[in-house]
Amino acid sequence: MALCLPALLSAGPPARAQSASPPAREVVLPIENVRFEYAQVLAVRPVQQVLRTTSTERVCSDPSRPEVLVPENVLNARRNAAEAAGRPPPANLRHCRMAPVVREYQRPIAYDVDYVYRGNKFRTRMGRDPGNRLRIRISIMPAPLE
């Protein structure tokens, strides 16, 4: 069987098929040369996400100030009871109402990092603050021939 294998390989395809296709070229894949070094960080700026929450909370007015926002016809039970009994309403009575309260929170979702390596400035976005130096990956590979 070993004798038949070279005979099959040397026979090749028919002559008509050889003339129609270009000759096969050997493909060589270059090896990537990689090393790691450190770059100096110039600036780090957090990228903020703004979160807004709305909740309904009890908001009470100061009894020393007249409440402008509450309509005249809205009175609470203590005031009605005091007026019905013929007594003046208590001085420390506070007007309370339920009101929507909007709060904003900011949280960092990423960091824009400016750094310099061998005199060239670069910018990248990272998930965490790298500190004063940044480990970078240096990859050297020949450009493909055109």
Per-residue pLDDT at 8:
44
Q: Which residues contact 105 (CB under 8 A, 6 or more apart)?
A: 50, 51, 52, 53
Per-residue pLDDT at 63:
64
Residue 7 lies in a domain: no
User: What does the pLDDT profile of the chain (146 residues) look like in tens digits?
Assistant: 444 444 444 555 555 555 567 777 887 777 889 999 999 999 999 999 999 999 998 888 776 655 454 444 445 555 665 566 666 555 566 788 888 888 999 999 999 999 999 999 999 999 999 999 999 999 988 887 87
Token pair in block for residue 129 = 């603050």
Per-residue pLDDT at 122:
97
Residue 108 lies in a domain: yes
- Domain with 95 in it: 30-140
Domain count, the chain: 1
Per-residue pLDDT at 92:
60
Q: Which residues contact 144 (CB under 8 A, 6 or more apart)?
A: none
Residue 21 lies in a domain: no
Encode burial over 83-116: b for 16+ CB neighbours within 10 A, e otherwise. Answer: eeeeeeeeeeeebeeeeeeeeeeeeeeebebebe
Residue 2 lies in a domain: no
Residue 20 lies in a domain: no
Residue 98 lies in a domain: yes
Residue 14 lies in a domain: no
Residue reference for tokens 């007007």: 95
Residue 13 lies in a domain: no
Q: What angle do CA 59, 64, 70 make, to 5 degrees?
A: 45
